[in-house]
Chains A and B, each alone.
Chain A
């Protein structure tokens, strides 16, 4: 797992990375980064990730902030 800041995030997105918001669904529905899918941390398991994410492409997870 590699921590990234905004410049690296942009490069990864330009290269086709997948964005995953791990906050609860309500917060995702209110506001999320363009193109992000929602997989709340509590439901992050083999079944959901296998179904919604491409293992061959980079995956970027994010939540609200660094705290």
Chain B
């Protein structure tokens, strides 16, 4: 629909016309604010936590292990320098892997993620039903936004 609108504006004489092709869905998935009667809808983006430890793929397990030991969680998320989510280090790997191995060699690649605009109640039910204690939230470009935890939703 928006390409047609942009063309229509151009035919009406507007010379600087842009089409935000991914639209409202993309905006919401980036946890950006909205206005309107449904703006207060409870989405998981409101409940993001950012305290989970992160690691770079080139770090060693021993480096990350120390960081995770000081955190409230027993896992770490692996990202690039710009925050793109690459993988996850579960507690078992942190406990058992050779401390001198690189994170990128032993991480679980491509963990599942949610978008921040997903409804909080439905996600809470899904996490509880599956016995999960958290879910990872990322934007449409794969950048880590944080984690959500059923007790918060």
Residues of A within 8 A of B (CB): 1-6, 8-9, 12, 17, 20-23, 28-36, 39, 41, 44-46, 49-50, 53, 55, 57-66
Contact = CB atoms under 8 A, between A and B. Distances in A.
Interface string B1-31: 1111111111011111111111111111010
Interface residues of B, number: 39
Contacts, number: 135
Contacts of B13: 55
Contacts of B33: 34
Given A6-B26, A41-B4, A65-B25, A29 B37 contact: yes
Given A41-B1, A55-B14, A63-B2, A3 B36 contact: no
A32 B1 contact: no
B39 interface: yes
B19 A60 contact: yes
Given A23-B1, A34-B33, A49-B12, 10 more contacts: A1-B6, A4-B20, A31-B36, A33-B32, A36-B35, A50-B12, A57-B16, A62-B19, A62-B20, A66-B23
Interface string B41-62: 1000000000000000000000
B35 A34 contact: yes
The residue in B13, B16, B34 that gathers the most chain A C-beta atoms within 10 A of its C-beta is: B16
A32 B5 contact: no
The residue in A8, A34, A59 that gathers the most chain B C-beta atoms within 10 A of its C-beta is: A59
Given A4-B20, A29-B36, A32-B34, A62 B2 contact: yes
A61 B37 contact: no
3 interchain residue pairs of minimum CB distance = A62-B20, A58-B16, A1-B6
B38 to A, nearest CB: 4
The residue in A39, A45, A60 that gathers the most chain B C-beta atoms within 10 A of its C-beta is: A60
B36 A30 contact: yes
A7 B36 CA distance: 24
Given A29-B36, A30-B38, A44-B8, A49 B14 contact: yes
